[in-house]
């Protein structure tokens, strides 16, 4: 079973977001081994960078506004390719200030979900839903319409 990591800065305080994250983690458990690594926010992005990079393994996907925009089908294709090759996948979500350039430079893929800005806590839910959707697309499910 493929391992999917979410490396993120900060903890989720809101119960409704924690509930949504738990729901998608439960749904994903039949497709992958999911691990969410919450890291402490540093005084600067430069200070956070080595801690973030140390927590990453496998194919690294940094979520950043300047990244490539994928459709759900394109993300599903990328996930399928990585699963077929047996690669572990790590998605990286920065703090409210984003990610240091050194983290982005070491990412295998820079991915943007939108030109809009989302709260980094909510981004976790959005990402997990899209990863779940990717597995459902790859399984031929009607979840994705």
Domains of the chain: 2-138 (3.40.1280.10)
- Evaluate if pTM is beyond 0.75: yes
- List the chain pLDDT tens, one digit each, 145 residues: 999 999 999 999 999 999 999 999 999 999 999 999 999 999 999 999 999 999 999 999 999 999 999 999 999 999 999 999 999 999 999 998 999 999 999 999 999 999 888 888 999 999 999 999 999 999 998 876 6
Pick from 11, 4, 10, 9: nearest CA to 27: 4
Pull the structure tokens for residue 115: 């030109």
- Beta strand 32-39 with 89-93 is unpaired
Contact 60, 92 (CB under 8 A): yes
């Amino acid at each position: 079973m493929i391992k999917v990591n979410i490396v993120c800065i900060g903890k989720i305080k809101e119960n409704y977001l924690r509930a949504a994250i738990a729901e998608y983690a439960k749904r994903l458990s039949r497709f992958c081994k999911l691990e969410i690594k919450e890291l402490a926010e540093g005084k600067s992005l430069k200070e956070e960078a080595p801690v973030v990079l140390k927590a990453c393994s496998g194919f690294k996907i940094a979520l950043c506004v300047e990244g490539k925009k994928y459709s759900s089908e394109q993300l599903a294709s990328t996930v399928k390719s990585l699963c077929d090759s047996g690669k572990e996948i790590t998605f990286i979500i920065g703090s409210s200030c984003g990610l240091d350039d050194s983290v982005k430079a070491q990412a295998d893929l820079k991915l943007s979900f939108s030109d809009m800005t989302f709260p980094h806590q909510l981004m976790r839910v959005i990402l997990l839903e899209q990863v779940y959707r990717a597995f459902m697309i790859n399984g031929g499910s009607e979840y994705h319409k």
